[in-house]
C-alpha cells in the first residue's frame, strides 16, 4: 500500500539525518544474524522478524531486499523485486513494473525492492523505531548514503554532467525515507555480502519470472 494512502502518527522527534548517517555501520565481517535475531514483534497480530535491541532497549527491524533480471539489455528483459522480512517464509516476490521510457534493469529492481520494503508494513506499529534495509547492492547503499546530495546539488546530474539514471525511483525512495524520518523513525542501509542475502535474491528471481508470491505478513 502506498505510504500516501496511510494515516501516520508521530513516533518521536523528527530526524534530520545526513546521507552518511543513513548508513548502518558494523564491524567488517559481522554477519547480520549476529545482530538481528529472529524474534516476535510487538504487533497485535504477532509475527517473527529479524530484530535488534540496542542498549537503550529500542528495537530495529532488518529487511532483506534484492533485485533480479533475466535477459537484461534485450527487449525481452524481465526484472523482479524480492523482500524477505519474516523468518521461515518464502518472502515477497513481485515483478518490476513496466514504466514507459525505462528499461527493466537490475538497478531499477533493487531500488524498487527497497521502496517496497519501506511500504509493506507500518513498521513502528510493530514496535520498531529504526528500519534497516539490508542489501548487497552497492548501487543502492552508496546512492542513498553518499551520492544523492551531490546529485541534487547538480540538479540530478552526475559529475560528468549526465542525467542520473533511475531518477524517478531515487526520488521515490528518498521521499519515503524522509517521511519516516519526519515521524521520528530512523532509516538506514546495511551493505551485505552477497552470500548473506540469498533469501531476498531467491524472491527477486521468482519475481523476474512473474511468479508473484506474497507471504502472509
pLDDT single digits (tens) 128-184: 999 999 999 999 999 999 999 999 999 999 999 999 999 999 999 999 999 999 999
Task: Please give the DSSP secondary-structure letter assigned to residue 194.
Answer: G
Q: Are 85 and 199 in contact (CB under 8 A)?
A: no
pTM, entire model: 0.92
Task: Please give the DSSP secondary-structure letter assigned to residue 147.
Answer: I
> How many C-beta atoms lie closer than 10 Å to residue 25's C-beta?
11
**Exposed, middle or buried by CB within 10 Å (0-12, 13-18, 19+), for 159?**
exposed
Q: Are 66 and 137 in contact (CB under 8 A)?
A: yes
Region 33-214: CATH code: 3.30.420.10
pLDDT single digits (tens) 54-113: 988 899 999 999 999 998 888 888 999 999 999 999 999 999 998 998 999 999 999 999
Here the cell at position 29 is 565481517
Band (8; pLDDT cuts 50, 70, 90): low
Amino acid at each position: 500500500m502506498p505510504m500516501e494512502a496511510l494515516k501516520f502518527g508521530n513516533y518521536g522527534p523528527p530526524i534530520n539525518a545526513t546521507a552518511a548517517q543513513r548508513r548502518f555501520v558494523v564491524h567488517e565481517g559481522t554477519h547480520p544474524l549476529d545482530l538481528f535475531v529472529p524474534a516476535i514483534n510487538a504487533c497485535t497480530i504477532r509475527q517473527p522478524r529479524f530484530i535488534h535491541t540496542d542498549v537503550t532497549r529500542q528495537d530495529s527491524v532488518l529487511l532483506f531486499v534484492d533485485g533480479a533480471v533475466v535477459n537484461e539489455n534485450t527487449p525481452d528483459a524481465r526484472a523482479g523485486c524480492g523482500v524477505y522480512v519474516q523468518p521461515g517464509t518464502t518472502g515477497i516476490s513481485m515483478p518490476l513494473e513496466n514504466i514507459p521510457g525505462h528499461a527493466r534493469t537490475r538497478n531499477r529492481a533493487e531500488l524498487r525492492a527497497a521502496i517496497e520494503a519501506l511500504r509493506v508494513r507500518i513498521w513502528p506499529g510493530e514496535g520498531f523505531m529504526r528500519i534497516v534495509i539490508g542489501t548487497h547492492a552497492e548501487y543502492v547503499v552508496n546512492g542513498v548514503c553518499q551520492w544523492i546530495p551531490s546529485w541534487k546539488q547538480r540538479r540530478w546530474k552526475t559529475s560528468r554532467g549526465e542525467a542520473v539514471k533511475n531518477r524517478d525511483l531515487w526520488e521515490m525512495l528518498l521521499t519515503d525515507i524522509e517521511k519516516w524520518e519526519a515521524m521520528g523513525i530512523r532509516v538506514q542501509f546495511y551493505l551485505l555480502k552477497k552470500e548473506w542475502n540469498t533469501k531476498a535474491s531467491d524472491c527477486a528471481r521468482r519475481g523476474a519470472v512473474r511468479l508473484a508470491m506474497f507471504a502472509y505478513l
